[in-house]
Structure 1
Amino acid sequence: MALAKLGVVVLDCPDPHALAGFYAGVLGGTIEEQDGWVDLKVPGGQDLAFQQAPAFVPPTWPGQEGSQQFHLDLVVEDLDTAEKEVLALGAKPLDTDDRSRTWRVYADPAGHPFCLCAC
């Protein structure tokens, strides 16, 4: 029996509404805001939340000097198509040179790493 149930994954960032908009563009869903807290309600998936962290320092990839903390794996049907779309939304490539792999690493606009993974 589980002690707890995962409620939401929360990402610290300098601009919660902007980062929620980026992930809404990637995952779909609706943005809800209340008292500075921004939620992305993802249909059929795990919701994400975004909280303002004025002193936020993005992790480095790969994290030689510090930990990346965590990253999101986003499953897509076509890596090339998804890559074009996330780059147009403001993602930055971090580790995308090996096109034979089934995954590629990017940073969201606030600097959090995430992977696009072929299904």
Structure 2
Amino acid sequence: MLDCLVVDDSRTVRRAARRMLEAQGFSVREAEDGQQALEACRAALPSLVLLDWNMPVMDGITFLRRAREEFGPDEPPIMLCTTESDISRIMTALESGAQEYIMKPFDAEILAAKLEVLGLLPDEAA
């Protein structure tokens, strides 16, 4: 079974993401900030990290850079999930090692499409 680590300081966002991911067959773990997420990845590397940008303790970009240094350029796949829509911010995320970028608010259809792009859902067109 695929598992996702949802990293967001908002309990509401974590719960919503959990519902959407569980409906897609994922098991879900949660972290409130990048430091907790790094510790969770060290304990067991997830199939995917859904990562908020703006968080206390350790922000998403800092986590992303540390995860890439520690675990390598491709594992785990990391999808940044944020309200940051400026193209320079998106480029920073991708250049720092994010494989995908999703804007808040998002719904189950948008999330499923991104999961499909990452190869984490079967292609419905096939």
**TM-score under structure 1 length normalisation:** 0.33
**TM-score under structure 2 length normalisation:** 0.32
Q: Which has the higher strand share?
A: 1
Indicate the structure (1 or 2) with the bigger Cα radius of gyration: 1
